[in-house]
């Protein structure tokens, strides 16, 4: 049984399971935000739920601490699964304290219980992510896909059953958290434990090492996330909330391109790390080209689809008034593809332990965004936001790709030279 569980899946199977699980979970989470409006007599619960999402989102990067990418690329066993799990519990606790401190200082008292419970609900999923990273290391992303599917469907089912009966947002979120924890305890933990023994614990020294080691990539992640967010805020300030509402509505369908890009490259990061560690240049380049080609294909398919279906889709969802802004779609498609490549470059450099270039590349994207957003929005309005995002991503990506090429040249050329010297010695 144990040997059967350790049998790896193919790259295609892993990508399929990851995509199915991630997408189904995302759809279920989106459905909850819709149903909370449909199943309520007022908008109060929807407002509090949205507030809880926003407040938690501020400190979520600290809870994640970008250790998922670090863990799946830990091909030399720098840390055990138990150490990653203990460290994730520490970062989650820290993020929870900051979340509630911020909530107490800025939010109404009646919203605090929902914010606390929502944070615990989402943090439960982040703890399970440690098991998923280990599953990915062993190329068993079927476990991940099934877990994410179960988490999404169970949360949606609990919401549909519990909220109409209780009309209590807090009780419903609590039950959603309980089902997530149960999935982690009874599904994820046993399967990961079959792949590799999980013993919870980490020393202060090793926790401090991870904390310091990953700090630059956490800051890089915040900077890379801020780069596209700031132009939107500037649009709202300069042209009003209505302009931002229109832009965000048109941009919503395009998000599938960035999701598709992550579904393509995330399962391949572990394989790329292994090929790099083994100095297998041919395999590494094949995977790199496959990833970039996959992202380009997703963008092309979506561009063609939105060209013909964009206007009917926007009309169906938002009404006739939005159709006049369909011209925003195609630039957004191109920008989403570039953004997907930037995040791939960012995560790949983390996988190859090049934190300095990840850090600098993300800061470049942020600086370019800050410099370009005012003149771009002033000259091109809502399309100026897209132009700003595209330019900032291009600047960051070019820098990171140059760093990647230099690193690969040094790594693989050194390997080939050693092989040549070894051959002559024989």
pLDDT digits (tens, 9 = 90+) for 4-28: 456 889 999 998 999 899 989 988 9
The mean per-residue pLDDT over the stretch 264-288 comes to 92
d(C-alpha 43, C-alpha 29), whole Å: 18
The predicted structure's pLDDT at residue 418:
57
d(C-alpha 222, C-alpha 200), whole Å: 29
The SS3 assignment for 279 reads coil
d(C-alpha 72, C-alpha 135), whole Å: 9
Q: What percent of the chain has pLDDT over 70?
A: 95
CA angle 70, 75, 79 (to 5 degrees): 65
What tokens does 406 get?
A: 């230099």
The predicted structure's pLDDT at residue 315:
84
pLDDT in tens, 114-124: 999 999 999 99
pLDDT band at 413 (very low <50, low <70, confident <90, very high): confident
pLDDT band at 426 (very low <50, low <70, confident <90, very high): very low
d(C-alpha 218, C-alpha 215), whole Å: 5
The predicted structure's pLDDT at residue 5:
58
Q: What percent of the chain has pLDDT over 90?
A: 63
Closest CA to 94 of 217, 188, 215: 215
Main-chain dihedrals φ then ψ at residue 190, nearest 5 degrees? -60, -35
Is the pLDDT at 41 greater than 80, yes or no?
no
The mean per-residue pLDDT over the stretch 46-63 comes to 86
The mean per-residue pLDDT over the stretch 96-108 comes to 92
The predicted structure's pLDDT at residue 424:
47
pLDDT in tens, 351-385: 999 999 999 999 999 999 999 999 999 999 999 99
The predicted structure's pLDDT at residue 1:
41
What tokens does 393 get?
A: 């991503």
Is the pLDDT at 416 greater than 70, yes or no?
no
The mean per-residue pLDDT over the stretch 293-314 comes to 86
pLDDT in tens, 203-250: 999 999 999 999 999 999 889 988 888 898 888 888 887 888 888 878
Residues in the chain: 426
pLDDT in tens, 154-211: 999 999 999 999 989 999 999 999 999 999 999 999 999 999 999 999 999 999 999 9
d(C-alpha 350, C-alpha 217), whole Å: 7
d(C-alpha 316, C-alpha 312), whole Å: 6
The SS3 assignment for 313 reads helix
The mean per-residue pLDDT over the stretch 397-417 comes to 85
The mean per-residue pLDDT over the stretch 149-157 comes to 97
Closest CA to 187 of 156, 148, 153, 157: 148
Q: Whole-number mean pLDDT of the chain? A: 90
State the alpha helices, DSSP H only, in 319-381.
329-351, 355-380
d(C-alpha 394, C-alpha 399), whole Å: 9
The predicted structure's pLDDT at residue 35:
86
Distance, C-alpha 326 to centroid of its chain: 27
Closest CA to 224 of 403, 401, 54, 61: 61
Contact 361, 219 (CB under 8 A): no
The predicted structure's pLDDT at residue 422:
56
What's the alpha-carbon Rg for the chain, to the nearest Å? 22
Q: Give the position of tokens 């520490």.
A: 90
Is the pLDDT at 425 greater than 50, yes or no?
no
CA angle 93, 99, 101 (to 5 degrees): 105
* Sign, Cα dihedral of 300, 304, 309, 315: positive
């Amino acid at each position: 049984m144990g040997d059967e569980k350790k049998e790896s899946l193919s790259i295609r199977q892993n990508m399929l399971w990851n995509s199915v699980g991630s997408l189904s979970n995302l759809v279920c989470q989106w459905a909850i935000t819709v149903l909370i409006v449909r199943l309520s007599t007022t908008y109060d619960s929807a407002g509090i739920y949205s507030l809880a999402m926003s407040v938690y989102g501020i400190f979520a990067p600290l809870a994640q601490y970008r250790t998922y990418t670090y863990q799946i690329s830990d091909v030399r066993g720098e840390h055990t699964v138990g150490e990653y799990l203990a460290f994730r519990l520490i970062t989650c606790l820290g993020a929870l304290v900051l979340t509630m401190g911020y909530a107490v200082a800025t939010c109404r008292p009646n919203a605090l219980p929902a914010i606390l419970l929502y944070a615990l609900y989402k943090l439960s999923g982040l703890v399970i992510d440690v098991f998923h990273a280990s599953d990915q290391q062993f190329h068993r992303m079927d476990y991940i896909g099934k877990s994410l599917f179960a988490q999404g469907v169970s949360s949606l089912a609990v919401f549909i059953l519990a909220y109409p009966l209780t009309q209590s947002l807090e009780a419903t979120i609590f039950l959603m958290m309980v089902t997530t924890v149960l999935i982690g305890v009874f599904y994820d933990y046993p399967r990961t434990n079959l792949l590799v023994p999980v013993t919870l614990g980490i020393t202060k020294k090793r926790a401090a090492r991870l904390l310091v080691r990953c700090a630059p990539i956490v800051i890089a992640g915040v900077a890379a996330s801020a780069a596209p967010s700031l132009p939107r805020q500037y649009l709202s300030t300069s042209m009003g909330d209505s302009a931002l509402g229109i832009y965000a509505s048109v941009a919503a369908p395009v998000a599938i391109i960035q999701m598709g890009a992550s579904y393509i490259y995330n399962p391949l990061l572990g394989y790329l790390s292994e090929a790099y560690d083994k100095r297998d240049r041919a395999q590494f380049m094949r995977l790199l080209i496959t990833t970039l080609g996959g992202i380009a294909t997703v963008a092309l398919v979506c561009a063609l689809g939105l060209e013909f279906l964009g206007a009917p889709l926007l009309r169906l969802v938002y009404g006739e008034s939005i159709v006049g802004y369909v011209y925003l779609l195609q630039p957004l498609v191109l920008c989403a593809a570039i953004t997907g490549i930037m995040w791939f470059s960012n995560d790949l450099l983390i996988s190859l332990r090049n934190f300095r270039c990840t850090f600098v590349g993300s800061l470049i994207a942020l600086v370019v965004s800050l410099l370009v957003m005012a003149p771009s929005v002033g000259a091109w309005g809502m399309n100026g936001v897209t132009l700003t995002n595209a330019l900032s991503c291009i600047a960051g990506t070019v820098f990171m790709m140059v760093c990647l090429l230099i690193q690969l040249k040094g790594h693989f050329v050194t390997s080939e030279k050693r092989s040549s010297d070894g051959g002559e010695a024989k």
